[in-house]
Structure 1
Amino acid sequence: MTAEPGRGPLDVLVVYVPVGDTEAVLQALFAAGAGTVGDYRECAFVTRGTGQFRPVAGATPTIGTVGDLEKVSENRVELVLDRALRADVVAALRAAHPYEEPAFHVLETADVDPA
């Protein structure tokens, strides 16, 4: 028996996205199957903050200049995904995100219903 989307072991993806690119990244993540919780689709939590980074030699920054500290208005986006979709969702994230090296992490959730 195959688990229904959003009802099996889940991961949580957290990614930082420039404000103006957030909707496009979310749509790519949803298309890859992320953001499903039971009978709900396109679920996400988005909050605004300031990201910072300093591109170093070898970088090709989308925003900023090599050697200079850059501060950008970004959204922290959090959404769940079926663990089996992890590779596809991360690939979709990398393809849709405007940064050369997007900052993100994937967290495995605890099994709260072992039955």
Structure 2
Amino acid sequence: MTTLYKLCFYVPVSHVETVKAAVFDAGAGRIGDYDRCSFQVLGQGQFRPLDGSNPYLGSQGQVETVEEYRVEMICQADCLEPAVRALHDAHPYEEPAIDLWQLAPLPV
């Protein structure tokens, strides 16, 4: 049985489809006989760029809020590294927020 992970990331509304497409193209989002599977919910992100940062949005030292999607999808272990690399390459932020959980097998 393949080890599965849940990949979760936050991305501004303007880039959600581009980033999802890149991660899907790298192999994430496959569940059985379905692909490009994900869940997303709109919310508000907050951050403050510090000295040395190169922010896509906002200015150093100023708190910025932005509408972002939280996107979740399943990722098999063999495509995890390419999917995270694709996410970083397609994401506009210098430091995208990414969560990753290893999933336990479902009892069937």
- Write the distance in 1 (CA, Å) between the matches of 2:99 and 2:80: 11
Q: How many residues align?
A: 108
**Cα shift readout 1:90-109 (whole Å, capped 9, x = no counterpart):** 10110000000000111100
- Write the distance in 2 (CA, Å) between the matches of 1:86 and 1:33: 8
Structure 1 runs (4+) greater than 4 angstroms displaced? none
Aligned-pair CA distance for 1:111: 2.1
State the partner residue of 2:49.
55
State percent identity of aligned pairs: 44
In the alignment, residue 43 of structure 1 is paired with which amino acid?
C
State the partner residue of 1:11.
5
- The partner residue of 2:22 within 15, 28, 41 is 28
- The partner residue of 2:99 within 89, 94, 105 is 105
- Write the distance in 2 (CA, Å) between the matches of 1:104 and 1:58: 21
- Write the distance in 2 (CA, Å) between the matches of 1:112 and 1:23: 29
Unpaired stretches in structure 2, ≥5 consecutive residues? none
TM-score, normalization by structure 1: 0.90
- Write the distance in 2 (CA, Å) between the matches of 1:75 and 1:55: 20
Larger Rg: 1
Unpaired stretches in structure 1, ≥5 consecutive residues? none
